[in-house]
Amino acid sequence: MVNGALTTLVGSRETGLWLTGAMQLPFITGRSALDAAADLIERFGDEAGPQAADRAKRSRGNDNVLAFCHWRQVERVIATLSSDEVLGTVH
């Protein structure tokens, strides 16, 4: 069942309008994702993101959902840390 009022508010996959006007902030699950991201950045530099993606892909292939989610999160943390764009509120 589709809630028309909610679809109007947040958009839909078909229109590509997801939470129009809402701030897209990264969600970091915990210290382990930050530690893993920092380790990959230190060891692989610019190749840290692809390394995390490869680990996620390998975990998915092994049907390890928890490891897959962890490495996808690490990949997002690396992208966030590597970005020059300011995210969120600046105080």
pLDDT 10s digits, 9-42? 444 455 555 445 544 666 777 899 999 999 999 9
Q: Which domain holds residue 55?
A: 23-82
Q: Regarding predicted confidence, which is higher, 5 or 71?
A: 71
pLDDT 10s digits, 35-64? 999 999 999 999 999 999 999 999 999 999
Query: Is 2 inside a domain boundary?
Result: no
Query: Is 67 inside a domain boundary?
Result: yes
Distance from first CA to last CA of the chain, Å, rounded? 42
pLDDT 10s digits, 68-86? 999 999 999 999 888 888 7
Query: Is 40 inside a domain boundary?
Result: yes
Q: What is the pLDDT of residue 30?
A: 84
CB of 87 closer than 8 Å to CB of 26: yes
Q: What is the pLDDT of residue 59?
A: 97
How many folded domains does the chain comprise?
1
Query: Is 15 inside a domain boundary?
Result: no
